[in-house]
């Protein structure tokens, strides 16, 4: 028998309701259409359902593995990095690609809105 909670999570996963999808999209800074929202709801639900099989495994007491090389505190010498010496050419390559710019500066829309 499914508990009420389990039954609910099968029909609608918490966080993946219509408002949930909109919230995730806004956190991810992606504007989505109604159609995309429906598609994402379906795709994410089916992927998460597949991912649920991880719950079959008891991971009590298991340390998570974030990396495999075992390297820790990988330092480099604190020297001038000549490979990336800034010059006019490199400056143009970097700043030059900004979609909106003025001279050597990247332009952005104002952060605060003006009072009307």
Partner 1 sequence: MHMHKIEYMLKLMINGFTIKDIQEGLAKGHFRAEEVFKKYSDKIKKENKKLNAYLSVFEPPLENGKWKMETSPLAGVPAAIKDNILIDGTVCTAGSKILKNYISAYDATVIKKLRKAGVTFLGKTNLDEFAMGSSTENSAFGVTKNPHDLTRVPGGSSGGSAAAVAADLAVFALGSDTGGSIRQPASLCGVVGLKPTYGRVSRHGLIALASSLDQIGPITKNVYDSALVLGAISGHDVFDSTTVPSDVPDYTKNLNKDIKGLRIGVPKEFFGEGLEDEVNQKVQESISKLKNMGCEIVDISLPHAKYALAAYYIIVPCEASANLARLDGIRYGHSSKDAKTLLDTYLESRSEGFGAEPKRRIMLGTYALSSGYYDAYYLKAQKIRALIKNDFDNAFKKVDVIVGPTSPSVAFKIGEKASDPLSLYLSDIYTVPINLAGIPALSLPCGNGRESNLPVGFQVIGRPFDEETVLRVSYQLEQVLK
User: By CB under 8 A, what part of segment 34-53 binds partner 1?
Assistant: 36, 39-40, 43-44, 46-48, 50-53
Rounded Cα distance, 14 and 20, in Å: 8
Binding mask 62-91 for partner 1 (x = CB under 8 A): xxxxxxxx-x--x-x------xx-----x-
- DSSP assignment letter at 106: E
User: By CB under 8 A, what part of segment 11-30 binds partner 1?
Assistant: 15-16, 21, 24-30
Distances from the Cα of 28 to the Cα of 21, 48, 61, 71, angstroms:
10, 18, 32, 31
Q: Which residues contact 14 (CB under 8 A, 6 or more apart)?
A: 8, 20
**Which chain residues interact with partner 1 by CB under 8 A?**
15-16, 21, 24-32, 36, 39-40, 43-44, 46-48, 50-57, 59, 62-69, 71, 74, 76, 83-84, 90, 93-94, 97-100, 106, 108-111, 113
């Amino acid at each position: 028998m499914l508990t009420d909670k389990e039954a609910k999570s099968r029909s609608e996963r918490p966080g993946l309701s219509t408002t949930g999808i909109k919230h995730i999209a806004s956190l991810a800074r992606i504007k989505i259409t109604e159609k995309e929202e429906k598609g994402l709801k379906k795709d994410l639900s089916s992927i998460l359902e597949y991912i649920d099989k991880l719950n079959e495994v008891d991971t009590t007491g298991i340390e998570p593995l974030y990396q495999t090389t075992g390297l820790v505190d990988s330092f480099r010498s604190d020297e001038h990095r000549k490979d990336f010496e800034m010059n006019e050419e490199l400056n143009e390559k970097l700043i030059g690609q900004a979609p909106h710019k003025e001279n050597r500066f990247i332009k952005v829309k104002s952060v605060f809105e003006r009072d009307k």
